[in-house]
Amino acid sequence: MKPIESLIKDNIKSLKPCQHGAEVHCAAQESGFKPQEILDFSSSVNPLGPSKKALDAIQEAFVEIVAYPDSNSNVLRQTIAGHLNGITKDNIVVGNGSTELMYLFAEAFLKRGEKALMAAPTFGEYERAVRKTGESVKFVRLDKSFQIEAEAFKREMTGCKLVFLCNPNNPTSKLIPKDNLTDIIDVALSQDILVFLDEDFLEFVDDEKNRSMIPQICKYPNLFVLRSFTKIFGLTGLRVGYGITSKEIADVLHCTKIPWNVNCLAQAAAVVAIKDETHLQITRELIKKEKVWLQTELSSIQSFSFTPPDANFFFIDIEKTGLTANALKHRLLKQGILIRDCSNFVGLNEFYIRVAVKTHGENMRLIEAFKRALKPV
Ligand X SMILES: Cc1ncc(COP(=O)(O)O)c(C=O)c1O
Catalog residues that contact ligand X under the rule CB under 6 A. 97-99, 123, 166, 170, 198, 200, 228, 230, 241
Smallest separation (angstroms) from ligand X to the CB of 85: 23
Full 3-state SS string of 201-219: CHHHCCCHHHHCCHHHCCC
Closer to ligand X by Cβ: residue 123 or 146: 123
Closer to ligand X by Cβ: residue 69 or 97: 97
**Helix (H), strand (E) at residue 241:** strand 241-245
- Give the chain's radius of gyration (CA, Å): 21
Closer to ligand X by Cβ: residue 195 or 323: 195
Closer to ligand X by Cβ: residue 187 or 225: 225
Closer to ligand X by Cβ: residue 123 or 304: 123
Closer to ligand X by Cβ: residue 17 or 376: 17
Farthest-apart Cα atoms in the chain, separation: 62
Taking the C-alpha atoms of residue 357 and residue 43, their distance in angstroms, rounded to an integer, is 10
Closer to ligand X by Cβ: residue 40 or 198: 198
Instruction: Please identify the residue of the shown chain whose CB is closest to the bound ligand X.
Output: 97
Smallest separation (angstroms) from ligand X to the CB of 70: 19
End-to-end, the C-alpha distance of the chain in Å comes to 56
Smallest separation (angstroms) from ligand X to the CB of 97: 3
Q: Are 121 and 348 in contact (CB under 8 A)?
A: yes
Q: Which long-range contacts (CB under 8 A, 24 or more apart) does 322-326 make?
A: 323/374, 324/350, 324/351, 325/350, 325/351, 325/352, 325/353, 326/350
Taking the C-alpha atoms of residue 116 and residue 125, their distance in angstroms, rounded to an integer, is 13
Torsion of CA 270, 87, 83, 235, to 10 degrees: 20
C-alpha distances (whole Å) from 255 to each of 31, 69, 86 are 45, 17, 24
Q: Are 131 and 102 in contact (CB under 8 A)?
A: no
Closer to ligand X by Cβ: residue 198 or 310: 198
Cα–Cα nearest to 129, from 161, 103, 165, 101: 103
Listed in sequence order, the residues at least 6 apart from 278 whose beta carbon sits closer than 8 Å to its beta carbon are none
Taking the C-alpha atoms of residue 91 and residue 148, their distance in angstroms, rounded to an integer, is 28
Closer to ligand X by Cβ: residue 321 or 352: 352
Closer to ligand X by Cβ: residue 172 or 321: 172
**Helix (H), strand (E) at residue 305:** none
**Helix (H), strand (E) at residue 186:** helix 178-190
